[in-house]
Amino acid sequence: MASEDYAKKLGAEMHAISVAQFFEKNKHLLGFDNLTRALLTSVKEAVDNSLDACEEADILPEISVQLQQIELNRYKMIVEDNGPGIIPNKIGEVFAKLLFGSKFQTFGGKQGRGQQGIGISAVVLYAQNTTGKPARIITKTKSAKQATVVEVKIDVMKNEPIILSQTTIDWKNEHGTRVEVELEAKYVEKKASVSEYLKETAIVNPHASIKFVDPKGNREVFKRVTDELPKKSEKMKPHPYGMELGTLERLLKATNARVLSSFLTTEFDKVGSTTATEILKAAGLDPKIGPHFVTIEQADKLVKAMHGAKIQSPSTSGLSPIGADILKKSLESEYKLDFACSVTRTPSVYKGNAFVVEVALGYGGELDIEGPISLFRFANRVPLLYQQGACALTKAATTTSWKNYGISQSGSNMPTGPLIVIVHVASVWAPFTSESKDAVASIPEIVKETKLALQECGRLLSVFIGKKNRSHLAAKKKEMFKNYSIELARELSKLTNQDEKKLLAKLLEIAQEMYKSGQLKPEEEEAQLAQIEKRKVGAFKKDKDEDGDDYE
Amino acid sequence: MIMNKKQDDKNVAEKIDDLAKDTIKSIEAGSNPDITFPLRGLSNVYFDETMKMVKLGDKTQTRNFFNVGQAKKFMQTFLVARVIKELVKENITAPIRSIYYNTKHTIGDTSEETWEDQSESDPIIEDLEITLGSLREELHVRAGQKGSMVGNLTIIDAGDTIDLRKMGSGGWSIPSIVEKDIIKFKECEADYILFIEKDTIWSRFNEDKFWKKNNCIIMHGGGQPPRGVRRLVRRMHDELKLPVYVLVDNDVYGLYIYSVIKQGSINLAFESERMAIPEARFLGLSSFDQEKYKLPDNVTLKLKDIDRKRISEVLAYPWFKKKQWQDELKHMVEKGVKLELEALSAKDFKFITEKYVPEKIKKKEWLV
C-alpha cells in the first residue's frame, strides 16, 4: 500500500514539475521569449482559438481584439468572438490546463490552426507568471439564458485549473466567448505588429470579420470577403507515399487489423484491396501475416513496395485550402492593387501527408515601388511572422527567377518592386522548424510545389506587366513627341523668326493626324521604343564608330 | 582669299536657313518633316580603284521628325544648325566639345538631356557637314588639337611666322583648321615627311634631331590622327611635293591608321578627296620585322580576341585586298602577337632613329 501511495505521489510530482518546467524551458519555442513577441503570440493564440471554435460550429466568425495599456510594459488583451460558447464546467479545462486540446496528434489527423493545442492556456499561464492576475472569461452558449463569468488561474503544480470566482451576468451577445488577460508585453506598430498579424490573418480567413482597437484607441476593421465557411476538414489516414519505416512500425504495432492486407486497406489512405494485393506482391509478403509479427526486414520491404506502388493522390478531405478565387478577392480587399492573381495547386504528398499550396500575387497600386517585395507566409491559415529566412516558403520565393516575369531580382535575393506574394500551405501536418511554428521546414516536395505555384502566378503577372509596359511606352512616346516638338519649334523660330507658338501648335496637330490616318502605327513605335529603352539599360554605349576609332 | 571666305559664310548661313525653311514648309503643309542626307557608314562606301581612295556612295537616308527612332536626332540637327549659324554670324569658331556643352540642356520638365554625351553630338555635326555640303571649317567648328610637328620648314600660322626648326622639345601644335587662309608654307628644304603614330616615339625622333640629320619633317597625330593633321599632311604632300612615310605599331590599329592617311576612312569618306594620300608609304612596323631584326619573343604582345575580330573585319575591306596587306595581317594572326614601336628599344634606344628608319628609307623597304 505504502509503495502505491509513493508511486502516486511521485507521479503527481513528475507531472507538476513537467508542466511548470515545460513552460519555462520552452518559453522561446512557444513564442514568449520577449515582450513584443509575447503580446503577438497571445493575440495569435486567442484569435486562432476563436476562428477554430466558430468554424467547428458553422458560424461566420466575428472577432474583436482590443489592447489597453495598463502601465509601461503591461497590457490588457481582450479578445471576443461570436463562437458557440463553452459550457460552464469546461471553461477551466479549456483555458487553464496545458496540453488539453483534442488536436494533439501523433500522426495523420486533420488540418487545424493550433496542432499542439497548447495555445490559449499557455497565454493564461504567461499572464499569471508575469502579472499574477487570473484570466477573466465571459462565455455564453445559445441555449443558456445568461453568460458565465469565470476568473481562472492554473495550478502549476498539478496542471489543473483554479476557479477563483464564477458568476452569471446578462450579456449583449447571443453566444460567444470573451477572454481578458493582463500580461507583461510591449506594443510595436511596425513589422510583426498585432495589426499586421490581424491583417494577414484576415487575408487568409476571408470568411472572418476582424476588428482591432489598438492601445491608442485607433480602430481598424478587416471586412469579411466571403460568406462561405471553409470546408470542414476531416481526420485523415496517412498516404503510403512518403511513409517512413519508423512510422510504419508504430502503425503495425498499434493496428487492430489481423492480417497485413486488411492492415493496408484500413490504416492507409487510397489503398483498396487491389492496391493492397499489389503492394504485398511487390514486397513478396504473405497477405495473411499478422501485422504484430512483421519483422523489421519485412517492414522495410513493405515501405519500399508502398513507395513504388501506383496509388491515387491522397484525399484532400482533410485539407482546407482557401481557394484561389477567394484568396485573390481577399487580397484585393486589403490592398489597392493594379493586378492580382492566384492559384491553388492540386494536392501533393510529403512523407505520407497530404498538402496543398496556394499562391496569390498582388502588383502595383499603393504598393511601394522600391525596396523588397512583401512576402506573406501562411500555414493552415495562420500567418508566419518570424524567421522568414529559415522558412522553406521564403526559399521557394527567392529561388524563383522573378526576372522572367518582369520583377527585378539580383541573384537569389528577395526580389524588389511593388509586389505582394502570399504563400499558403495547408496540410494535415504542416512541418515546422520548431514548436513556435514560425517557419516551414525545407521539405523538397513543399519547396517544389510552392515554386510551381509561384511560376504559374508569375506567368500571369508577366502578361499584365507586359501590357502595362506597353501603355507606359505609349504615354512616354506622346510625351516625347511633345517635348521634342517644343525644342524643334524654338530652334526653327530662332533660325527664321517665325512664331514659335504657331509652329508648336502645328507640330502637335500633325502628330495627332498621323495617328488618326494610320501613318504612325502605335504598336510598331512602341516596339521600337522598347528596343531603345532596352539598349539604354543594356550594354555600354558604343564609343567607337562602326569602322573603328575614327571619329576624327 | 578674304572675299572667298565671306562668300562661304554666306553660303553656310543661307543653306541652314533653307533647311529650316524647308522644314517649316512641310510643317505648314501638315506633313511629317524630313531631312535627306547621304548615308554614312560601311554600307555606303566604296573603294574608288582609279582614285585609290575610300569614297562615299550615293545611298541616302531620310530622317523624319515623327518617327520614334529619329525624332531626337531630327531635333538635335536643328539645335546644332542654329548654333552654327550663330558662330558664322559672329565669325568665331568653337570646338566640337563646346558645341556639345552649349546645346546641352534638360528637355522640358523631364529628366532627359538633349545629349547624353559628346559621342551623340559629334555625328550630328558630321551629318550637317554632309547635308549642307560644307566643310567643317566653313561651319566654324573645330576639333580638339592633337598632333605636333617639327622639321626643316617655315610656315605662317594665322599671320605669325613660325620656324619649325626652332620648336624645342614639344614641337608646333597642329591646329584643327589648317586651310590656306590660316596656314601658309614659306620656306621648305625638307626631302620628305615622316608621320609617326604616337607622341612618345615622335619625341625620341625629335630628341635625336632626326629631322636635322635626315633633312625631313617629323609629325605625329596622337594615335588616330584628327582631320587637321590629315589635311595638313595632304597639303604638304600636294603643295611641297614631299613623299610621306608612315611609321606605326605592328597591330591592326596601326595599319588602319596608315590606311586612313593613305585612302581615307569610312566615317569621313566624304572628305577623302581632300585628305587621302594614295602615295603614302608604309615604313613599318611590319609583321615580318620580328624575324628580320631578330627581336626577342618577350617584347611581343599576345593578340586578344578583340584584335582578332578587328583583323577579320579589316581583311574584308576592299581597300585591304592587295596581297601585301593581306599577308601583313595574316602573318600577324599566324604568329598570334603584335609589336609596339617601343619594342625596337630592345636592341638599343637609338636603333629606331639611327638604323631602322634611315635604312628602310635608303633601301626602299616600304610598301605602298
**Following DSSP, what letter does each residue of B169-207 receive, concatenated?**
TT-EEPPS---TTTEEEEEE--SEEEEES-HHHHHHHHH
Specify whether A397 is located in the same domain as A439. Answer: yes
Q: What mean pLDDT value characterizes chain A? A: 83
Do residues A117 and A190 share a domain? yes
- Whether residue B240 lies inside any domain: the answer is yes
Q: What is the pLDDT of residues A253-262, one digit of tens each?
A: 888 889 999 9
Q: Is residue B53 part of a domain?
A: no
Q: How far is CA A408 from the centre of its chain?
A: 24
Q: At A214, give phi and psi (nearest 5°).
A: -85, 175
Which residue did the predictor score with more confidence, A327 or A112?
Answer: A327
Q: What is the largest CA-CA distance in chain B?
A: 73
**A233 lies in some domain:** no
pLDDT bracket for residue A536 (50, 70, 90): very low
- Mean pLDDT over residues A35-48, rounded? 91
Pick the closest to residue B146 from B93, B78, B222 (CA basis): B222
Proportion of chain B above pLDDT 90, given as a percent: 72
Q: What is the pLDDT of residue B33?
A: 93
Structural domain range at position A369: 324-462
Which CATH number does the domain housing residue B10 bear?
A: 1.10.10.10
Within this chain, do residues B209 and B355 fall inside the same structural domain, yes or no? yes
**B215 plus B96 within the same structural domain:** no
A264/A360 same-domain check: no
Residue A315 included in any domain: no
**Per-residue confidence band for A543, with pLDDT thresholds at 50, 70 and 90:** very low
* Residue-wise pLDDT tens digits, A351-394: 778 899 999 999 988 888 888 899 999 998 888 888 888 899 99
What's the gap in Å between the CA of B224 and the closest CA on chain A? 7
Residues A486 and A457 in one domain: no
Question: B28 near A506, Cβ under 8 Å?
Answer: yes
- CATH number, domain of B314, equals 3.40.1360.10
Residue ending a domain, among B108, B142, B176, is B142
Active-site annotation holds for B101:
yes
Q: In this structure, is residue B61 part of a structural domain? A: no
Residue B265 lies in a domain: yes
Whether residue A319 lies inside any domain: the answer is no
User: Which residues from A are below 8 Å from B81, CB to CB?
Assistant: 491, 495
pLDDT digits (tens, 9 = 90+) for B288-321: 999 999 999 999 999 999 999 999 999 999 999 9
Sequence-distant (6+) residues with CB within 8 A of A237 are: A108, A267, A268, A269
Q: Which residues of A touch B42 (CB under 8 A)?
A: 546-547
Query: Under an 8 A CB cutoff, do B265 and A547 touch?
Result: yes
Residues A301 and A386 reside in one and the same domain: no
Q: Any CB–CB contact under 8 A between B316 and chain A?
A: no
- Span A415-447, pLDDT tens digits: 988 999 999 999 877 888 876 778 899 989 999
Residues 250-269 of B with CB under 8 A from A: 253, 256, 260, 265-268
For A437, what's the count of Cα atoms within 13 Å in the CB-facing half-sphere?
Answer: 22
- Both A46 and A156 in one domain: the answer is yes
pTM of the model: 0.54
Alpha helices in A219-341 (DSSP H): 245-254, 260-267, 273-283, 296-308, 324-334
Query: Per-residue pLDDT for B255 more than 70?
Result: yes
Q: Over 90: is that where the pLDDT of A169 sits? A: yes
Together in a domain, B123 and B199: no
A276 lies in the same domain as A383:
no
Tell whether A520 lies on the interface with B, counting CB pairs under 8 A: yes
- What CA–CA distance (Å, rounded) separates A550 from A442? 59
| pLDDT tens readout for residues A496-529 | 999 999 999 999 998 888 777 767 776 677 677 7
Q: In this structure, which amino acid lies at residue A213?
A: V
Per the domain annotation, does A228 fall within a domain? no
- Find chain A residues with C-beta within 8 A of B23's C-beta: 492
Shared domain check, B328 and B208? yes
Domain span at residue B193 reads 188-362
Whether B105 maps to a domain, the answer reads yes
| Cβ–Cβ gap B108/A481 under 8 Å | no
Contact with chain A for residue B68, Cβ under 8 A:
yes
Contact A84, A174 (CB under 8 A): no
* pLDDT above 90: residue A115: no
Q: Could you report how far apart the first and last alpha carbons of chain B are, in Å?
A: 35
Q: Is the ipTM of this complex over 0.90?
A: no
Instruction: From B77, B107, B142, give the residue that closes a domain.
Output: B142
Whole-number Å distance between alpha carbons of A14 and A21? 10
| Mean pLDDT, range B209-230, rounded to an integer | 94
Q: By the 8 A CB rule, do A228 and A205 touch?
A: no
Of A477, A491, A547, the CB nearest to B42: A547
Q: What is the pLDDT of residue A17?
A: 52
**Is B261 among the domain residues?**
yes
Residue of A nearest to B66 (CA): A511
Give the alpha-carbon dihedral of A494, A496, A499, A501, to 10 degrees.
-50
Q: Which of A319-328, B272-281, B291-300 has the lowest mean pLDDT?
A: A319-328
Among A258, A276, A308, identify where a domain stops. A308
Residues B339 and B228 in one domain: yes
Residues A470 and A457 in one domain: no
Does B119 lie in the same domain as B26?
Answer: yes
ω before A495 within 30° of 0 (cis)?
no
Grid coordinates given for A545 = 564608330
Tell me the nearest-neighbour CA distance from A364 into chain B, angstroms: 23
Looking at the fold, whether B218 and B357 belong to one and the same domain comes out as yes
Q: How far does the CA of residue A469 sit from the closest CA of chain B (Å)?
A: 16
The 3-class SS string of A201-216 reads HHHHCCCCEEEEECCC
Q: How many domains does chain A have?
A: 4
Cβ–Cβ contacts within 10 Å for residue A496, how many?
15
Regarding whether A454 and A347 lie in a shared domain, the answer is yes
Q: B-chain residues within 8 Å CB-CB of A495?
A: 16-17, 20, 78, 81-82, 85
Compare all CA atoms of chain A with the CA of B108 and give the residue at the minimum distance. A483
pLDDT of residue B153: 95
Q: Please report whether residue B151 resides in a domain.
A: no
Shared domain for A265 and A185, answered yes or no, is no
Burial of A2 (0-12, 13-18, 19+ CB in 10 A): exposed
Q: Judge if B119 and B217 occupy the same domain.
A: no
Nearest to B78 among A483, A492, A547 (CB): A492
Domain with residue A170: its CATH number is: 3.30.565.10
The helix, strand and coil proportions of chain A, stated in percent and rounded to the nearest 5, come to 45, 20, 35
Of the candidates A480, A503, A550, the beta carbon closest to that of B71 is on: A480
Interface test with A, best of B27, B73, B313, B329 (most A CBs within 10 A): B27
Say how many domains are in chain B.
Answer: 2
Among the candidates B142, B160, B178, a domain finishes at B142
Give phi and psi for B38, each to the nearest 5: -60, 140
Q: What is the pLDDT of residue A528?
A: 72
Residue B159 near chain A (CB below 8 Å): no
Q: Averaged over A126-154, what is the pLDDT?
A: 92
- Find cell 531626337 and name the residue: B72
**pLDDT of A106 over the 50 cut:** no
* A475 in contact with chain B, both atoms CB, cutoff 8 A: no
Q: Closest approach of chain A CAs to the CA of B62, in angstroms?
A: 16
**A510 within a domain of the structure (yes/no):** yes
In this structure, the answer to whether residues A428 and A494 fall within a common structural domain is: no
Q: Are B42 and A496 in contact (CB under 8 A)?
A: no
| Strand A135-140 with A176-184, pairing | antiparallel
- The label of the residue with cell 510625351 reads A479
- Tell me: do B216 and B349 sit in the same domain: yes
Q: CA torsion sign, A393 to A398 to A404 to A408?
A: positive
The pLDDT value given to residue B230: 94
Residues B241 and B347 in one domain: yes
DSSP class of residue A545?
A: B
A100 and A211 belong to one structural domain = yes
Higher pLDDT, B61 or A521: B61
Return the minimum-mean-pLDDT range out of A333-337, A432-436, B112-116, B120-124. Answer: A432-436
The domain that holds A253 is classified in CATH as: 1.10.8.50
pLDDT(A102) > 50: no
Q: How many CA atoms lie within 13 A of A465 on its CB side?
A: 21
